Amino acid sequence: MTTAPAVPTTNLRQKLLFLYLANTDLHAAVIAWSTFDGTSNDRPEMDDPDPPYATAVAAMRDGWRVIQVAPMQRPAAGQEFELGYLKFEVILEKLEEVSA
């Protein structure tokens, strides 16, 4: 059995961009967003007034790769008007080289 190496074997690091859209269309407007940067030790700056991209497709055109989109699910019977978390989540990534 092989085990995962304790230290990264390449200099590639992952950056994640979470975009929350107005609906399921990847052209729909971004209404919330978050970044998680594996290339940096800094905490993300929050409270930006504007999203980094207007749509998920705009982020894709800038080199971000979509790795997950929220599934479309009908509401449970009796809970059609209950709302919870932001529904239309798209997770994107970029891999970037960091200096050794």
Partner 1 sequence: MNKPVADVAPAADLASLPTQQATLDRQHLLSTLQMAEFVSEGFLRFDQMVPADLCEALMAELRAGLYQTYETEGTDWDSVWPEPLAAGRIFRLPAVRGVIESLIGPHPRYDHHFPHLRTGPDNGHQGLHQDAEIDPRGSGFDIQISFFPHDIGPEHGGTLFLPGSHFRRVHNSELGRYQNVLGQVQTVCKAGTLVFWHTDLWHAGRANRTATERYMFKLRLNPMVRQYRLWNTDDLHDPVVRDQAAKILKRTQPWHGQQGRIEQMNRARLWREISGDQEFDTNMYWRRTDNAPQSQYTPVR
Closest CA to 32 of 86, 94, 92: 86
Q: Is 15 in the site for partner 1 (CB under 8 A)?
A: no
Candidate residues 13, 15, 26, 29; the one interacting with partner 1 per rule CB under 8 A? 29
Query: CB under 8 A: which stretch of 4-12, 54-62, 66-74, 82-90 binds partner 1?
Result: 82-90
Q: Is 40 in the site for partner 1 (CB under 8 A)?
A: no
- Locate 60 and state its tokens: 């894709």
Q: Is 21 in the site for partner 1 (CB under 8 A)?
A: yes
Structural contact between residues 28 and 21, judged by C-beta atoms closer than 8 angstroms: yes
Residues 43-62 that bind partner 1 (CB under 8 A): 43-44, 46-48, 51
Structural contact between residues 96 and 13, judged by C-beta atoms closer than 8 angstroms: yes
Q: Is 28 in the site for partner 1 (CB under 8 A)?
A: yes
